Amino acid sequence: MSNRHARRQDVGLLLVVSSPSGAGKTTLARRLRDDFSGLGFSVSYTTRPPRTGEQDGVDYHFVTQETFDRMVGEGRFAEWAHVHGHSYGTAYEAIDQALKSGTDMLFDIDYQGGRQIKSRFPDAVMVFVLPPSVDELARRLRGRATDSKASIEKRLHGAVEELNHYDAYEYLVVNENLDRAYDELRAVYVASRCNWRLRAHFAEQLVTEARRQEP
Ligand code: ADP
Ligand code: 5GP
């Protein structure tokens, strides 16, 4: 968060957002990043080809399967998974940066990745975005028109598997009305920033300061 108090903390918050493909997590996550300039985005590595308009190094690091496999072998990923026929992974660099510099970091990753991040970083905040219905999910996936027919069918099939894992998450945001869903995601982020683990450092400073000023 880019406010005065946030700068006093020394630990970055890891915010994991997952959902079945098409539920709206990219739309919601983008809005959150626009709202909070201090919230970093973890740019994943993927073997998926870029969609029209996607930029290398901004949306994803687009790599070959060979490069991806080498990175796996070198232990460069904090998590990685096969999703819809491609490999996706989060490099440790992004997380180290968040934890060391106190920058909050948003991860748009699937449930397999979410599970790995949570087991390595138990303080990660886990948000799962649900579509209002399976029919609406299908409508959104088809309406997005960024994927081939085969890819859309693969994603719809994968949605059932992804939905099954909602119970590994701490917060469930239902994305029926976009504004309302965004309010919920924003509220989770803002409240998580007030978690005592992140604020305890500041409170300790105040206690020390107050003791020093005691007559
Ligand atoms: P995901 O990242 O979960 O795959 P996207 O954010 O790309 O999903 O959203 C899928 C499609 O649904 C996009 O075309 C997006 O504009 C649309 N969409 C997202 N949220 C809503 C909503 N609340 N109502 C209607 N359409 C939505
Ligand atoms: P898309 O191809 O639509 O950009 O993403 C497909 C799925 O892969 C989405 O559910 C997205 O959250 C997930 N994904 C993107 N990056 C990563 C990553 O680094 N790791 C994992 N495990 N999943 C990812």
Residues with CB under 6 Å of ligand 1 are 19, 21-27, 140, 143-144, 175, 178, 181
Q: What is the sign, positive or negative, of the torsion defined by CA atoms of 19, 106, 144, 147?
A: negative
Distance (Å, whole) CA 12 – CA 184: 21
Distances (CA, A) of 7 to 102, 107, 185, 186, 212: 8, 21, 22, 19, 23
The CATH H-level (homologous superfamily) assignment of domain 3-41+104-212 is: P-loop containing nucleotide triphosphate hydrolases (3.40.50.300)
Mutate to test the pocket of ligand 1, among 31, 140, 166 (most ligand atoms within 8 A of CB): 140
Please state the length of the chain: 215
Q: Could you report the per-residue pLDDT of 1-41, keeping only the tens digit for each?
A: 444 444 445 678 999 999 998 999 999 999 999 999 989 99
| Burial per residue of 16-31, b for 16 or more beta-carbon CB atoms within 10 angstroms, e otherwise | bbbbbbbbbbbebbeb
Domain parsing of the chain, residue ranges? 3-41+104-212
pLDDT at 126 over 90: yes
